[in-house]
Structure 1
Amino acid sequence: MNFKKLAFRIQQTNEFLQQNAVKAINIHITLRNWLTGFYIVEFEQNGSDRAEYGSKLLENLSKNIRIKGLSAPELSRCRQFYYAYPEILGLITQKFKTMLPVDFLEDVMLENNSNQILGLPTQEFQSANNEVDTEFISSVFQSVSYTHFTELIKIEDPSKRRFYELIILKTQPTVKELKRQIDTLTYERVGLSENHRDSMEEVMKKINPQQTTDLIKSHYFFEFLNIGQAHLIEESELEQALIRHLQQFITELGNGFCFEARQKHLLFGDEYYFVDLVFYHRILKCHVLIDLKTETAKHEHIGQLKSYLNYYKKNIQETNDNPPVGILLVTNQNKAMVEYAIADSDLDIFVSKYQLQLPDKSKLEAFINRELKNI
């Protein structure tokens, strides 16, 4: 062995084990979320007190379990995941039973060869199980990240979903690339082509595979491990520096600001959006959402911030809280603009109180201009 070979071996070993660690975590995330959907469906169909919760089941469940990453919309997605892939249960009980809690196995693995599946009638399960290639679904389960699954479960047509599963197994695309393939109707275009094989090969050649680092950036990965997400979102260095300094700047202003979250993600339907900074103001008794854009102000920026405020009103705001407030900071690196999206209110006194307690617009503009000169 020489020095070059020594360095190569260490690098190769590190990369191999890193990939396996990420793969193991993704399998556990997928398993946790599928089982969560399984448990919810079982309760909805057979729970002794299910009538007490009705349409509020997921909201109540989310508040009760208090697990990071399992909000009511996410629980709904877990349920959708179970319905899209019921055959995973047979796979779990055959190949991954050592990863499961013992009581789960006692409840499910059962009297007639694991065919009586909770939440899914026996005949339906047998039919679905006969149609699926066990080895193929095993490869999908072990190779596809849950983030990819969140795109696959939106596809209702099983054949179409199988097509994109195949693309994932063969090319390992990023989630962004997978969405692009779905949005550009790759399945339909290949189906309409004269030579399916050549068309498929042409598609696969154009797909850039994801790297291990892409997987690590998944918010599911961060939430499952309960670690910080400071570098989760790919931003420009300028924006990252501004957010980092702005957090300290706002906190130093005092006036009751309590830092709560950075890059807080919100789930709207099937898409995630991120609020740069979230504070809670103990005097105003409301959340303050700050969104920063390193470009000139656009109409959609204000609309997006107002969507965040409406989300907080509906899902986060407590009974005794006042409506949330949004602050939009926009810069095109030549000038700064600050826009307050003060929550709608018929009581002028609240609006006046907000304006009195929040940072002065001129101070925020001065901060941005100062920071831009230093970066």
Structure 2
Amino acid sequence: MSGKIIQNNDYKDWSKFIFNKIKVAQTQAALKVNSEMLTLYWEIGNSIIEKQQENGWGSKVIDLLAADLIHNFPDSKGFSVRNLKYMKSFAEAYPQFPIVQVPLAQSETQFVQVALAQITWYHHISLLTKIKDITERAFYIAETAKNDWSRDVMLLQIQSNLYRRSGKALNNFEQTLPEYQSDLAKSIFKDPYHFDFLMLTTKVKELEIEMLLTNKITDFLLELGKGFAFVGRQYVIEVDNTDYKIDLLFYHTVLHAYVVIELKAGEFMPEYVSKLNFYISAVDDKIKTPFDAPTVGLLLCASKSNVKVEYAMRGLDKPLGVATYQLEQLVKENIDKLNEDYSAGQ
């Protein structure tokens, strides 16, 4: 009887529902604990600021407080002198706790609120140490929460200068997509892309890069960003009895659209855009369903002239972007070195 139940689709759907309920509950419990800890740390930091201002106390009061807290709460971690100083910095950085309010991109009158409890205390310590600009810090808070980055992954994204690369690919989205989808598509693509994880220092052929990217698909998807699902490499599509091969085909689960990526080992050439436009049209006709949004194209070149790109895209009615990529191994700090300044509470 139990075997029959296990094979039953109703049971499988029901058990999956229970599993998801448990996961949601666990996530909500973890978020609540994190929120309560951040609130406590902010209140301690804010109280230190107030007392120092009211009584003229110097930094020695933090040493005294740390010793008293450790004595009274010997089983609790996080009350070291270093961590208390981070609490003070945290309260100074976010006087509007539990949110940080920053202006929308290219706007001085519209603001967006980012919840601070979306990431852990240790993420916050790293951000406070590495990023001084509050708008940039809010960007990494939101991206870390959205992509569920560990602190190490977040630090690597900071090191790769993701903030200044995001949304920078040249594109025609405003002319070819509805406003809500245009803004989303713009935010998804960046320039340049960093393929340093391929560990290449010399020029190689396009097919070699494609092969290495698909061999290291986890790293590639991390660089592309959340939402990309890999469909295939050298994906064959037939047009008028002729087979054509798309370099890389993805589906984006947030855009709800196929994404055609063409990779070129050299400098941008105007004819590359025509070929990409052809592939977008073919995917729209041959693969896209009525439930999918218009297919989007991304051309990746080793280098480009922005003027040539703008001329090549002018008048096209298919949504596409053009960006560069870097193959060279970036000079990276060792993760252990990155973490030296952030080991609070020891």
Normalising TM by the smaller chain, what interval?
0.3 to 0.5
TM-score by length of 1: 0.40
TM-score (norm 2): 0.43
Q: Which has the higher helix share?
A: 1
Higher relative CO (Cα under 8 Å, sequence separation at least 6) belongs to: 2
Compare the two structures and name the one with the higher strand fraction.
Answer: 2
